[in-house]
A and B are shown apart, each in its own frame.
Chain A
Amino acid sequence: MEDVRPSEAVDDPIQRRDLVLLEQARDGNLGAFNSLVECYQDHLFALVARMVPDRDQAADAVQEAFFSAYRNMRSFRGGSVRSWLSRIAINAAMDQQRLKKRRPSQPYPELDDESWQPPAGPQDDPVRTAMHGERSRVLAAALASITPDQRYAIVLFDVEGYDYAEIAELTGVSLGTVKSRIHRGRLALRDRLEDSIGLFRGEDG
């Protein structure tokens, strides 16, 4: 892949901005690199925290991901900086999970806080909003309890929107294995949500 220079025509203004910042960072501008960090640290942390239920491990993985990105800026081959950073973060998350296998802590501590509520508009039904909050809490807990391979596949496919081929490349397995992990992962979630499955059936009838 060619190295995309800022001078080359890039339609997406965000991508153009990212490429300019990355080029400046390559030239030694730490401020430019930190600007990229500010743009994507929320997204990367959310991604990694869903893959690695332990919050501390997730934070360590994200920090390591940005360290790796800074070290390997010259290896960027062009395309989307966001995708490039996401790939680094996913690899860091999987490495973190492999290296530090310990009992995961609460992945969503804010969901245990009864005062926390998801963002809601003025016209939202409070009951519906509360039900959504409870559904998210039990779903997050169930997601944290399935196997790491199934969790990675489900987070990348259902939450982050990667397709089968991208997930196969990221995780280093075949297309059939990716599909199998997603199917079995969803079955495992359904088994763990058996007592709360009514929260998911309510809207669908």
Chain B
Amino acid sequence: MPHLPDHTTHDPELIAAYAAGDATGPDLALATELVADCTDCAALHRDLRSIATALPELPAPARSRDFRLTPEQAAALAPSGWRGFLAAFASPRFRLAAPLGTGLAAIGLAGLLLGTPGSVLPAGEGSAAGSAAGATPSAPAPEKAEDGSVPTIDAAAPAAGAGLAEAAASQPAAMAPQVVPAASADAFIEPDRASVTETGSGAAEGRSSTTSIEQGPPQGAGEPAGTDLSLDAREGDNAREIAPSDAAVIQPAGSPAIALLGVAALIAGVVLVALRLGAKRLV
């Protein structure tokens, strides 16, 4: 067998890879050539294969002790208390706990967001301000006295105004800004219109009441808005015609029940995921 000069330049790891059957492509061709043409490489290749053959024949070392567990060891190893409870969640039967908990938490978060007051929604049923506006038309119009005179505005104002003031006071401070009830702005205008539209014997009274408004002191900031709205309350239907035209108001919405359920679902989902992950870390 020819001896290639400078065997020290031959890569022994290439020969080792070739002996293990891991050489491929150009490495395989080179290794084949080296083993064929270099005596040292051929000897190395042969030794490596002999060693690999001898390794599985190594005798099994004799066991030096008995590794069975005693009851005391088993008791010390078994998780107890909260660890025992947590370890149960590592069982494969709880393999769906983490994805289930994640889904539950997501649903809970959605419910919490939908049910929290302050979310922007179109004006709808059940809104407090809507009920306040609705209170305006629902306030009973003052009845005419036996002599046909209609109670003055001052007499009629407190009853309706008080209710509206209460409604205004009940609005949460954090609400989205409301458009000032249109009726209060129109109160200075509508009475003239209302007095014109009234017919019959009431017209004179309406005019006189309008007059009393006009002559009265200007409405100050301290006066409840309900004072102005009382005129619309006396008009009844007219007020109802006014408010809906300004229907595009931002009103608070929210359902405490949905928010509560959302919080519960979120907490349950987080707890479920935490138990499963904690159990897997424990084991």
Query: Which A residues have a C-beta under 8 Å from some C-beta of B?
Result: 1-3, 30, 33-34, 37-38, 41-42, 44-46, 49-50, 55-56, 58-59, 62-63, 66-67, 70-72, 74-75, 77-78, 107-108, 110-111, 118, 132, 135-136, 139-140, 143, 154, 158-159, 161, 179-180, 182-184, 186-187, 189-190, 193, 197, 200-201, 203-204
Mostly, the B contact residues are helix
In the assembled complex, B67 has its CB within 8 A of some CB on chain A: yes
Mostly, the A contact residues are helix
CA distance A33 to B68 in the complex (A): 8
Chain A residues with CB under 8 A of B71 = 30
Query: Which B residues have a C-beta under 8 Å from some C-beta of A?
Result: 12-13, 16-17, 19-20, 22, 44, 46-52, 54-69, 71, 73-74, 77-79, 87-88, 90-93, 280, 283
Chain A residues with CB under 8 A of B52 = 158, 186
- In the complex, the answer to whether B50 meets A200 with C-beta atoms within 8 Å is yes
| Closest Cβ neighbor of B280 among chain A residues | A75
Tell me how far the C-beta of A113 lies from the nearest C-beta in chain B, rounded to whole angstroms. 11
Query: Which listed residue (A71, A77, A201, A203) contacts B77, Cβ 8 A?
Result: A71
- In the complex, the answer to whether A187 meets B12 with C-beta atoms within 8 Å is yes
- In the complex, the answer to whether A139 meets B77 with C-beta atoms within 8 Å is no
Interface centre among B57, B69, B73 (most CB of A within 10 A): B69
Other CB < 8 Å A-B pairs besides A74-B88, A154-B55, 14 of them? A3-B91, A41-B66, A46-B63, A55-B61, A70-B77, A70-B78, A72-B283, A139-B55, A159-B56, A183-B17, A184-B16, A186-B16, A189-B51, A193-B47
Chain B residues with CB under 8 A of A63 = 65, 67
| Closest Cβ neighbor of A197 among chain B residues | B47
- In the complex, the answer to whether B91 meets A179 with C-beta atoms within 8 Å is no
